[in-house]
Amino acid sequence: MSEKITKIILFIASFIIVIISAGMVLSLMSGAAPAFKEFGFKFIISTEWNPTEGKEQYGALQFIAGTIITSIIAIIICLPLAFSTSLFIGEYFRGTKLAKIIGTMVDMLAGIPSIVYGLWGFYVLRPLIVDLGFNAQGFGIITAGIILAIMIIPYATSISTEIIKMVSNELKEAAYSLGATQKDVIMAVVIPEARSGIFTSYILAFGRAIGETMAVTMLIGNTNIIPKSIFDTGNTMASVIANQFGEADGLKLSSLIAIGLILFVITGLINGLGKIMIKQFN
């Protein structure tokens, strides 16, 4: 009897998360409905963002583009750094105190609130961009991309470090016994063995970058255009919601929610892909 009740309680609890998720999708869809009804599929491919009453016209393409571009820049910058850090912790200095310290510091990067990254980006990174002459104000895609790169490093590092650590010693020894140097072993044994794990951690990091809000909002420059170069300003899906939500109602609010829905779907797809990949090598 008690067993049955316990099982029922557990089941009901588990159902809560299903309801929350389903409710999220439904709420976003119903909130986005007016925008999609008004603009149809054009919402996704239009770059118009005009809140003037009577001429209201909204499209999300520039935000989708801004999001993808900043995230790609972030992952490109993050890649050599995170990969080197994984090799540092998981291969070169594996098990040493130094590796532990570096690992802890990388973990600390994950603990810094997004808004603090934004501040640091604003006061330290942005002036640097100005000094380098990339951009007069220092705001823009590249500034946001660099900050995002730092923010996603812990996510890109954690799984790949574990996977690199797991590469069997027997294989590495086999390669050494053939006269390989450590670099050869990394290139010919460690990377091929760990590649799906490494790739997965970058996918998950990319998913993180796409949804980051505050730091990007503070640095990207907030213009509703498709950036023509990495030194241009722009907006991401998350940053436009953060920026314009306060003064939004009616069709504009619905459009922002529609952008939220697109963001939800994109991150869901990317994380789903990452999860499938994790399952594959488990």
Partner 1 sequence: MERVIKDKIFKGFVILFAFITISPIIMIIYKLVIKGYRQININFFMQNAPDTYEAMIALNAGKIIPGGILNGITGTLFMVIIASTIAIPIGLLIGVFLYENKNKFYANIVRDITDILQGVPSIVLGLIAYFWVVKSITNGFSALAGSVALAIMMMPLIIRSTEETLKMIPETIKEAGFALGVPYHKIILRILIPTSFSGLLTGSLLAISRIIGETAPLMLTALGSSIVNLNIEKPTSAVPLLIWEFYNDPNMVDLVWSSSLFLMGFVLFLNILSKSLNGECRM
Partner 2 sequence: MKDLIIKIENPVLDIKNLSISYNKGKYAVTNVNAGVKKNSVTAIMGPSGCGKSTLLRAINRMHELYPNIEVKGKIFLNNNDIFLMSSIEIRRKIGMVFQRPNPFPTMSIYDNVIAGYKLNGIRLKKNKKDEIVEKSLKDVVLWNEVKNSLKKKGTFLSGGQQQRLCIARALAFKPDVILLDEPTSALDPIATKKVEQLLIKLKENYTILLVTHNMSQAARMSDYSMFMYLGELVEYGKTKKLFINPVDKRTEEYLTGKFS
Q: Which of 73, 189, 256, 270 binds partner 2 (CB under 8 A)?
A: 189
The CA–CA distances, whole Å, from 170 to 131, 173, 198 equal 51, 5, 20
SS3 state of residue 177 = helix
Identify the three-state secondary structure at position 53. Answer: coil
Instruction: Give yes or no for a contact between 226 and 66, defined as CB atoms under 8 angstroms apart.
Output: yes
Q: Considering only 9-17, 114-122, 154-162, 172-180, which stretch makes contact with partner 2 by CB under 8 A?
A: 172-180
Which 8-state DSSP code applies to residue 94?
T
Task: Tally the residues of the chain.
Answer: 282
Residue ranges in 18-57 that form contacts with partner 1 under rule CB under 8 A: 18, 20-21, 23-24, 27-28, 31
| Interface with partner 2, residue 82, by CB under 8 A | no
The number of C-alpha atoms within 13 Å of 27 and in the hemisphere containing its C-beta is 8
184 binds partner 2 (CB under 8 A): yes
* Binding partner at 106 among partner 1, partner 2, none, C-beta below 5 to 8 Å by kind: partner 1
User: Can you tell me the distance from the alpha carbon of 241 to that of 259, in angstroms, rounded to the nearest whole number?
Assistant: 8
Residue 273: count other Cβ atoms within 10 Å of its Cβ: 15
Assess 87 for contact with partner 2 (CB under 8 A): no
Residue 193 interacts with partner 2 (CB under 8 A): yes or no: yes
Contact assessment for residue 42 and residue 59, using Cβ atoms and an 8 Å cutoff? yes
Determine, following the binding rule CB under 8 A, whether residue 170 of this chain makes contact with partner 2.
yes
Least distance CB 169 / partner 1 (angstroms): 19
Applying CB under 8 A, which part among 127-135, 137-145, 226-234, 253-261 lies near partner 1? Answer: 253-261
Among 122, 134, 176, 264, binds partner 2 (CB under 8 A): 176
Q: Pick from 263, 200, 261, 244: which is nearest to 49 by CA? A: 244
Given the complex with partner 1, which of 141 and 149 has the nearer CB atom? Answer: 149
Determine phi and psi for 93, rounding to 5 degrees.
-115, 30
Cβ 30 to partner 1, closest distance in Å? 8
Binding mask 253-282 for partner 2 (x = CB under 8 A): ------------------------------
* The binder of partner 1 chosen from 35, 75, 186, 230 (CB under 8 A): 186
